[in-house]
Amino acid sequence: MTATDIHPLRRHLRQQLHAGRQWTFTLLDPLDDEEMARQPHRIMSPLVWDLGHIGNFEELWLLRGLGDHSLSDQRLDTVYNPFDNPRWTRADLPLLPRREATEYIAEVRGRALDLMADADLVDGDPLVRDGFVYHMVAQHEAQHQETMLQALDLRGETHGDDAEELADADDPRLRIYLPATRRVLRSARQVDDLQTVVVPAGPFALGAPDPADLAPSAPRAARDAAVAAYDNERPRRTVSVPGFAIDVFPVTARRFAAFVADHGYRNPDWWSERGREWLKTEGHTAPQGWYQTADGEWAIRRFNRVSALDPRELVEHVTFWEAEAFAAWAGGRLPTEVEWEKAAAHDPATGSSRPYPWGDVAPTPDLANIDRTLWGPSLVGSYPDGASAYGVEHLLGDSYEWTSSDFEPYPGYRTFPYPEYSEVFFGGDWKVLRGASWATRASVARSTFRNWDHPYRRQIFSGVRVAYDLRDGRPVRPQVR
């Protein structure tokens, strides 16, 4: 980067921060103070905690992290520390009331923008070089927006399993999140939702590149993806991957409903030992939000609104155990995260890895179902222009996709800038998810992004795509479902 690039970069970073903050308020403005302070579910925080935490994180990194004085009483560091305060305890903390939290995050932001004017984005500390810390803070807020949407979507889970009862429980305070018809489904071409492609054996570049290695002419979107990448996405290295096959599309509601109808939740043959333990404890019989009406048809509840489930819609809200069992039933398995990234990023024609499946153009609503455009998964086949070089579609947007991989560091991993984002989670009971969801901001969606969660979690916007081993160059797929 040269000095002549600094002013456009500062404008770009300001725009990112501003757009993210505007969306936070768009999300929270319809809710009253009581709803903000309420804990919607024990595994989720009160939304007012998320609001204060967004401000506290920004103060830590954009003020104190850059050598400025603190604006707040540092006791807030304890209140908004997620490691000291598990989610189910946060409603009992001395949280800033909504008005004070709003004033706090505005004051932090104003001071942070003032400091940005003097930040050395060219030769300065690695924390600010190329705008890294500003990307990090913007991503942090975007990820909490997604978490807050999960919390709002969990409301109503305690109303019972009857679709008509849930419809009567429709909450007018949440209607603003969905149009009167639930949402406008994107039109989709007719496709075979069982279609697979073969990804031949061979090497590819896994992980995010170092921004310094990018050509000066690299598009802004490619540079943003490299700068914004978290430490767990690095370092980039060449890996050799055996050949495999993978579904062109994530699993649809049609396919998953067939699994349910085939007693998939009751047949232990499809479930691992831990999956069977989870199933016995929880007793679920379908993905979160699915309900059967009196005539046997499937309905789905989102944000306390119930509507018919379109069989072409892509599945979301399944645990790792459900995804794993479905893949076994379908005659395959979950992909490893390395397989997923090769199918998403590798361009066999050039031998290079793309920052996005379709190339180096920033994500848009024409390429992927992101940025809350549809308020739920799209219909299968809606985004042919977003396909990877191998022809795999819906890799970013709709739902995160479970992989079989544990969350571990890449060889040569170095913590930056703090261990609590990635390092403390390595080696735990976490499974990697790849891709992005319909609720993910475009600034977070990229081919190298690694999400992770407990295998029993399904409040996240998570789906499944099936992979298959090869025999004589063809998928080993004993059952076609």
Among 173-187, 193-207, 238-252, 358-372, the least confident range: 173-187
CA 228/CA 214 separation, integer angstroms: 14
Angstrom CA distances, 238 to 318, 342, 426, 467, 469, stand at 32, 11, 22, 21, 21
CA 400/CA 261 separation, integer angstroms: 24
pLDDT of 381 over the 90 cut: yes
Which residue type is seen at 275? G
Q: Give residue-wise pLDDT tens across range 299-314.
A: 998 887 888 999 999 9
In 3D space, the residue among 53, 61, 35, 140 whose CA is nearest the CA of residue 90 turns out to be 53
In terms of C-beta distances under 8 Å and separation of at least 24 residues, what long-range contacts does 324-327 make, across chains too? 324/271, 324/272, 324/275, 324/402, 324/404, 325/259, 325/264, 325/265, 325/270, 325/271, 325/272, 325/275, 326/251, 326/255, 326/256, 326/259, 326/264, 326/270, 326/464, 326/466, 327/464, 327/466, 327/467
Q: Give residue-wise pLDDT tens across range 109-122.
A: 999 999 999 999 98
pLDDT class of 177 with cuts at 50, 70, 90: low
Q: In the CATH scheme, what architecture does the domain 168-481 have?
A: Alpha-Beta Complex (3.90)
Report the share of the chain in percent with pLDDT over 90: 79
pLDDT of residue 172: 55
pLDDT of residue 304: 79
Question: Residue 107: in which H helix or E strand, if any?
Answer: helix 98-116
DSSP β-ladder status, 305-308 and 346-347? unpaired
CA 332/CA 284 separation, integer angstroms: 22
Question: Contact 310/380 with Cβ under 8 angstroms?
Answer: no
Residue 42: exposed, middle, or buried by beta-carbon count in 10 A (0-12, 13-18, 19+)?
Answer: exposed
Q: Give residue-wise pLDDT tens across range 212-242.
A: 999 989 999 999 999 999 999 999 999 999 9
pLDDT class of 472 with cuts at 50, 70, 90: confident
Is 3 or 123 the better-scoring residue by pLDDT? 123
pLDDT class of 156 with cuts at 50, 70, 90: low
In 3D space, the residue among 107, 111, 19, 22 whose CA is nearest the CA of residue 65 turns out to be 111
Angstrom CA distances, 124 to 117, 129, 144, 214, 414, stand at 13, 6, 28, 18, 19
pLDDT of residue 455: 98
In 3D space, the residue among 480, 396, 478, 473 whose CA is nearest the CA of residue 438 turns out to be 396
Q: Give residue-wise pLDDT tens across range 258-279.
A: 999 999 999 999 999 999 999 9
pLDDT of residue 158: 46
Average pLDDT, whole number, for the chain? Answer: 91
What's the predicted TM-score (pTM) here?
Answer: 0.93
CA 290/CA 402 separation, integer angstroms: 19
pLDDT of 180 over the 60 cut: no
Paired tokens of 449: 């992004």
CATH code of the domain made up of 3-154: 1.20.120.450
pLDDT of 185 over the 80 cut: no
pLDDT of 92 over the 60 cut: yes
pLDDT of residue 146: 97
Residue 420: exposed, middle, or buried by beta-carbon count in 10 A (0-12, 13-18, 19+)?
Answer: exposed
Among 1-15, 281-295, 377-391, the least confident range: 1-15
Q: Give residue-wise pLDDT tens across range 63-75.
A: 999 987 777 678 8
pLDDT of 346 over the 70 cut: yes
pLDDT class of 175 with cuts at 50, 70, 90: low
pLDDT of residue 165: 44
Q: Tell me the average pLDDT across 321-342.
A: 97
pLDDT class of 281 with cuts at 50, 70, 90: very high
pLDDT class of 6 with cuts at 50, 70, 90: low
Q: Tell me the average pLDDT across 80-94.
A: 95
In 3D space, the residue among 312, 389, 405, 395 whose CA is nearest the CA of residue 347 turns out to be 389
Q: Tell me the average pLDDT across 470-478.
A: 77
Domain spans of the chain?
A: 3-154, 168-481
Report the share of the chain in percent with pLDDT over 70: 91
pLDDT of residue 237: 98
